[in-house]
Amino acid sequence: LEETTTLNNGVKMPRLGLGVWKTDNTSAKESVKEGIIKGYHLIDTAKQYGNESGVGEGIKEGLAETGMNRKDLFITTKLFNGDQGYQSTLDAVNGTLERLDLTYIDLYLIHWPVDGKYIDTWRAMEKLYHDGKVRAIGVSNFDNERLQNLLDNTNIVPAVNQMEFNPINQEKGIVEFNNHAGIQLEAWSPLGGGEALSNPEIKKIADKYSKSVAQVIIRWDWQKGIVTIPKSSHEKRIIQNSDIFDFKLSDDDIKTIDAIDKAKRSLWYDDFGWHNPEGQVVDAVDKWD
């Protein structure tokens, strides 16, 4: 769990972390504390999750229990859509730091590409980086077109692009673009919201190694070099999801999982109206304010 990948600005980021999406403050506090005690160094939250203060408390308790220091952890959070724009981004980070009760963030991501705003937003992210409030800056849910636009019009190449990535939705074109641009891909919803967890082909591989389907999926991310942040609110699963270092998938296993891809983003996108019928990301400011 201490193993890291080196981002394009030289900062080291742990390769497996704990996600806390859909987790309220109380539960986030417990998960984060438990996660740190069980060896997780990377914690991934967002203003939009509404649990930054719970995460902050969990960090404090986890550090106290383990005797580790703040610098041993890698904390990611994300800029809320409604805060996009140059000045509002500069202002928003202060609230986030206050809720997390931290003096800096390790990785700050633009949560979604709000069209017409994400370039100005990125310029503010660049300032936060230069000012030392964040150690690395990145994006989330950026398709290749928007990423290219960002690269063409700004100075710093994002360190990370966090995308939905799992056996059901492998975003092969985006993975290729990011690899080529030197942007680390990070998987949100790595377990694929249930459909991947019940996949019979992955189950067969899991049985072969006496591991769970979740462990096989996380190991698949690991071997592909994709940073992954499975979420669980259950202590047993938090432990299980980090127990992936006593087996190795064969090339054939990896090919089998690669072939499961349905290029199918989770329904969740559509439920929240973040895609129009043509599949383009829509400006979600109204929905989140």
- Residues with a catalytic annotation lie at 49
Min separation Cβ 134 and ligand A2P, Å: 24
Q: Give CA torsion, residues 28, 221, 226, 224, to 10 deg.
A: 170
| Amino acid letter for position 85 | G
Stretch that binds ligand A2P, among 1-9, 75-83, 108-116, 235-243 (CB under 6 A): 235-243
Q: Which of 37, 63, 181, 197 binds ligand A2P (CB under 6 A)?
A: 197
Q: In this structure, what token pair is assigned to residue 114?
A: 């709000």
Q: In this structure, what token pair is assigned to residue 239?
A: 């432990």
Under rule CB under 6 A, residue 212 binds ligand A2P? yes
Strand 105-110 and strand 134-140: the pairing is parallel
Q: Which of 5, 8, 88, 233 binds ligand A2P (CB under 6 A)?
A: 233
Angstrom distance (rounded) from CA 235 to CA 39: 12
3-state percent breakdown (helix, strand, coil) of the chain, nearest 5? 45, 15, 35
Strand partners, 188: 164
Min separation Cβ 269 and ligand A2P, Å: 13
Maximum CA extent, the chain = 54
Look at the alpha carbons of 284, 94, 136, 224 in this order and tell me if their dihedral is positive or negative. Answer: negative
Stretch that binds ligand A2P, among 61-69, 82-90, 102-110, 225-233 (CB under 6 A): 225-233
Q: Are 282 and 273 in contact (CB under 8 A)?
A: yes
Q: How far is CA 135 from the centre of its chain?
A: 16
Under rule CB under 6 A, residue 231 binds ligand A2P? yes
Min separation Cβ 91 and ligand A2P, Å: 30
Per-residue x/- track, 236-255, ligand A2P (CB under 6 A): -x--xx--------------
Phi-psi category of 225—alpha, beta or left, where left has phi over 0 and alpha has psi -120 to 50? left
Complex with ligand A2P: residue 58 or 190, whichever CB lies closer: 190
User: Which CA distances in Å does 38 have to 13, 18, 35, 65, 286?
Assistant: 18, 11, 5, 11, 39
Task: Tell me: is residue 180 an annotated ligand-binding position.
Answer: no
Under rule CB under 6 A, residue 214 binds ligand A2P? yes
Min separation Cβ 115 and ligand A2P, Å: 26
Min separation Cβ 223 and ligand A2P, Å: 18
How many chain residues touch ligand A2P (CB under 6 A)? 17
Q: Which of 234, 255, 264, 287 binds ligand A2P (CB under 6 A)?
A: 234
Q: Which of 50, 82, 85, 193 binds ligand A2P (CB under 6 A)?
A: 193
Annotated binding-site residues for substrate read 111
Q: Which residues bind ligand A2P (CB under 6 A)?
A: 19, 189-193, 197, 212, 214, 230-234, 237, 240-241
